[in-house]
Amino acid sequence: MGRYLAQRVAHACLVVLGVSVLVFCISRLSGDPVSLMLPMDAPRSERIRIMHELGLDKPIYVQYLTYLKRLITGDLGQSIRYRQPVIELIAQNLPNTLQLAGISLTLAVGIGVPLGIWAGFKQDSLVDRGLMVITTAGQSVASFWLASLLILFLGVRWRLLPISGSGTLLHLIMPALTLALRPAIVFARLTRSSVREVLPQDFIQVARAKGLAQTQILGKHVLKNAAIPIVTVLGMELGVLLGGAVITEQIFGWPGIGTLSIQAIYTRDFPVIQAVTLLVSTMVVLANLLVDLVYLWLNPQVRLGGES
Amino acid sequence: MDVIKKVFSGKKMSVKILMSIFITAVAVVMVAATGVGVVQAANPSTRVIVAQGADATTLDPHMHRETTTSNVLSHIYDTLIMRGSDMSLQPLLAESWTYINDTTLEIHLKKGIRFHNGEELTAETVKYNFDRVTGKLPGARLTKVSYRYVNVKDSEVVDKYALRVHLFHPDSLFLGQLSELPIVPKEYTEKHGFEILDTRPVGTGPYKLKKWEHESQIVLTRNPDYFRGSAAIEEVVFRVLPDPMTRVAELMTGGVDIIVNLPPDSIPQVEMQSNLAVKTVPSARVAYVWFNMLETPQFADVRVRRALNYAVDVEAIIKYVYGGHGMRISTMAPPYFTGYDPKDPVYSYDPEKARALLREAGYGDGFTVTMLTTRGRFLNDILLAQTIASYLEEVGVHVNINAVEFGVFAKQTQERRIPEMMLAALGTSSFNVLDAMRTIVRSGDQAFSWYSNPKVDVLIDKAAKTIDEEEHEWLLQEALDILYEDPPFIYLFALEDIYGVNRRVDWQPRSDERIYLYDARILPQ
C-alpha cells in the first residue's frame, strides 16, 4: 500500500512537471507579452529594455531553470500585466472557482443520481426511455450554447436572474446549471447502469423475498455498487471543473481562475499562465489520486500484486 | 439513517426522487448563500454602470498603456490639458500655457486645486511628475510611458503655480502629449512610495476609488470637493464583462448603462428597446492595408500600389461590411485630425484602371501574395480582409489570407516579419496625422513602416519640429499629397466606435475612445 502510494505520488509529480515544461515552451513560442504591451509607436529600444527587464531575452532553458529555482522557494513570480504577486491574484480568484465547481458538482450529483436510480428501477418504462433521450440530447449541447440560452430566457426575456457577475446565490444559478449539465448526465447514466446491473442479481431477489423494503435494498446494495464508478467520475469531473470552466466564466463574467487564465493567455502573462497551469494540473492529478484511494477503500477486492 | 428511512418509506419512487432533488437544492442554497460582496445593481438616481471587456491593470496612471485602464483613471486623475468633446486642447489643471521659445513651454496652473488627501497641486508637484516620467527620480522604476517623454530635458519651477518645461528639440505634438499625462501627488508618493498608487490612488479628479474587486468591478465615488464642481453622478462603476453577448444582454436588462464595441448585428435589437440608444462616433483608428515595399518586388513599382488602390471599392465595403459605420478618407487624415484637407483627392473604385496600370507595370498576368491580418482585433477584421482579397482577385492579384491571434500578430510585427501585405488599424490618440506618419510612414526600422520615400521623411521631420500651426499644417499637407501619389498602403477608412447606452444617462461618446462621465448626468425619469 505504501509502495503503491509512493509510486503514484512520484508519477503525479512527473506529470505535473511535464505539463509545466510543455506549457512553458508553447506559451513562449506563440508570442510574448512585450509585443502585446507596446503600442505601435513605441521605439525598438523600449521593447529591448522591457524584454531584458522581464528576462525574456535569455534562452528558454535558462528561463525555465530560473523559474524552477524560484518555484522551489515558493515564489510564483509577479504578473506581467498586473505587477502583483501571482499568488495574490490566484488567492483572489480561486475561491470563486471552488465555489462554482462545488455547487455545480453538488447539483450534478443531486439531480443526476436520483434520476438515474429512478430510471434504473423503472427499467424500460417511459421514465427510463425519456431519460435516455434527454441525456443523449443533453450530452450534445455545447456549454456556451446552453449559457446563451439561459441568459436569453432566464435573464433577458423573463428577467428572473442576474446575467453576470458574482456575489449572491442568484448569480450562481445560471453558471452552475450550465456547468452541472454534462456531469449530471454522466452521473444519471452511470447510476442507471449500476442499478440495472444489480437489480436482477440473485441476492436482490433473496432480499426482496425476505421482505426488505425497497429503500434498504437501495441503500445497501445498489448504491454501493454504483458508488465506485460514481466516485471515479466525480474525481475526474472535479479536476475538470477546478480547471476553471473558462467559457462559462467568461460568458457570465464570473471572476474565477478561468477568467484569470484566459486573460493571461491573451496577454501572454507567462508567470500567471505557469502558475494556473501548475495549480490546475496539481489539482487534477490529486483528484485522480484521491479517487484511486477511495476506490481501493470501497472495493477491498482490488489490491495490487500480491499484497492482500 | 432512521430519519431518512422514515421520511422515504412508504412513498412512491417518483416522490422519493423529487424529494432527493429538493433536498439537494436546499443544500445548494445554504452553501451558496455564503457568497461575498454584492455586484451593484443599477440604482436610478445615483449610479451609472459601464461594462468594459477587461479590467484595469493598475491604478497608477504612469504604469499602463490600455484604454480600459485610462477610462477608469481619467475619473480619478486630471491632466494639465484635456481634450474637449471636439478633441480640441483645453485647460484643465493648467490655466494657460505658452511657448516662450521653440523649446521652452511655460505653464501656469490654476490655484487652490487639492488632491483627494488635501495636498495642494503646485508647480513642484508638476515638476515631480515630469521628473518621474523622465526617469530623474532616484530609485524610482521607469514608467511605462517614459518613452513618450524622451524629448523632455528638464523642468524648472518659476513660482508656486508656474513652471517651465525645457525640451531638447521643438515638438509640435508635445501639447497633445500633455493631455495624456495624469498628475499624481508628490507628498503622498514620497511618503508611501510609488507602489501605493497601484492600489490606493490619490488624484485631483472628480471621483475617488471606493473599491476594486479584481476581474469583476471597480466602484468610484464622487469627490465633493472637485475644483470644477462636484459631478452630477454620485457613483460610477466599471464592470468587467469579456463576452460581447453578455454585455448586450446586461444592457438590455438594465444591468449596465453603457457598453462599448456593440456588435453591429446587435444594433437592431438594442434600437428596438425604447429605453436604449445606439451611439456612434468616428474614432481615431484608421484601417490600412500595408504594402511591404521593402521586401516585395511588385510593390517597388508605384503603379502596382496605385492599381491596388483603384481595385478596392471602399465605399461598398463601408456600406455592406460595416453597415455604414466607417468614414472614407483620402489618405491618412479624417476630418478631425490636424493635417486634414477637404480638397484631397480620393482613389475612386476603378478596376479597369487598376488592370491597365498592372499591365503597364508588367503584371498583366497578376501575381500571388499573402496578407497578414488580426483575428477579432477590430470589428470584422477577417471579413474585411476577405472582401479586399476578393476585389484584388478581380484584377488578377491572388491573396492568401493569414489570420492570426493578436498575440502572434503583435510578435510578428514587432519582430518585423510580415508577408507582402498586412491589414491592421492604427489608432492615433493625438489626432494629428504627423503622429501616424511617424509611426507607419517614416522610413527606418524603428517604426511600423515598410515604406521609404526620402522626400516624405524630410517633411515629416520638419513638421515634427514646427510649432507654428499654419506652417505645421502646410508641411503635413505637402506630405499627404506625396503619399497620395506614392501610396504606402491601400487606403481604407476611419473606423467608427459603436456604443449601446441606456437613455437614462445623458452622455456622449468621444472619438478618443475615452468613456468620461464627469459631464454626464442621469435624466429624471
pLDDT in tens, chain B (525 residues): 556 555 555 556 666 677 777 777 776 666 555 544 444 455 556 899 999 999 999 999 999 888 899 999 999 999 999 999 888 899 999 999 999 999 999 999 999 999 999 999 999 999 999 999 999 998 778 888 998 899 999 999 999 999 999 999 999 999 999 999 999 999 999 999 988 999 899 999 999 999 998 888 999 999 999 999 999 999 999 999 988 899 999 999 999 999 988 988 889 999 999 999 999 999 999 999 999 999 999 999 999 999 999 999 999 999 999 989 999 999 999 998 999 999 999 999 999 999 999 999 999 999 999 999 999 888 899 999 999 999 999 999 999 999 999 989 988 888 889 999 999 999 998 999 999 999 999 987 676 899 999 999 999 999 999 999 999 999 999 999 999 999 999 999 999 999 999 999 999 999 989 999 999 999 987
Give the per-residue pLDDT at A88: 92
For residues B369 and A152, give the distance between their C-alpha atoms in angstroms, rounded to a whole number.
44
Pick among A27, A36, A38, A40 to test the B interface (most B CBs inside 10 A)? A40
Q: Stretch A185-199: mean pLDDT, rounded?
A: 86
Give the per-residue pLDDT at B37: 40
Q: Does A114 touch chain B (CB under 8 A)?
A: yes
Other CB atoms within 10 Å distance of the CB of residue B278: 17
Q: A152 with A202: CB under 8 angstroms?
A: no
In this prediction the pTM is: 0.86
Partner residue facing B65 (CB), from A39, A111, A255: A39
Q: Does B239 sit within 8 Å of A40, measured CB to CB?
A: no
Give the per-residue pLDDT at B411: 87
Reduced to 3 states, what is the DSSP secondary structure of residue B9?
coil
> What is the average pLDDT score of chain A?
85
Partner residue facing B448 (CB), from A40, A168, A176: A40
Q: Find residues 61-90 of chain A whose CB sits inside 8 Å of chain B.
A: 81-84, 89
Poorest-confidence range of A212-226, A266-280, B47-61, B229-243? Answer: A212-226
Q: Does A37 sit within 8 Å of B198, measured CB to CB?
A: no
* Top-confidence residue, A231 or A250: A250
Q: Does B147 sit within 8 Å of A42, measured CB to CB?
A: yes
Nearest-CA residue of chain A relative to B212?
Answer: A92
Give the per-residue pLDDT at A82: 86
8-state DSSP, B121: P
What confidence category does residue A307 fall into, taking pLDDT thresholds of 50, 70 and 90? Answer: very low
Phi, psi of B403 (to 5 degrees): -95, 120
Reduced to 3 states, what is the DSSP secondary structure of residue A9?
helix
Distance from CA of residue B328 to its chain's centroid? Answer: 20
Which residue, among A62, A65, A37, has the nearest Cα to A49 in the 3D structure? A37
Q: Stretch A201-230: mean pLDDT, rounded?
A: 71
**Set of cell numbers at residue B460:** 515629416
Give the per-residue pLDDT at B4: 57
ipTM above 0.90, yes or no: no
CA-to-CA separations, B441 to B3, B9, B250, B331, B423, in angstroms, rounded? 81, 83, 42, 12, 15
Residues of chain B contacting residue A156, judged by C-beta atoms under 8 Å apart: 249, 252-253
Partner residue facing B24 (CB), from A43, A107, A166: A107
For residues A198 and A120, give the distance between their C-alpha atoms in angstroms, rounded to a whole number.
10
Q: Does A102 touch chain B (CB under 8 A)?
A: yes
For residues B507 and B233, give the distance between their C-alpha atoms in angstroms, rounded to a whole number.
11
**What contacts B256, CB < 8 A, 6 or more positions away?**
B42, B49, B50, B51, B239, B241, B247, B250, B502
Residues of chain B contacting residue A151, judged by C-beta atoms under 8 Å apart: 245-246, 249
Residues of chain B contacting residue A90, judged by C-beta atoms under 8 Å apart: none
Q: How far is B254 from chain A (nearest CA, A)?
A: 10
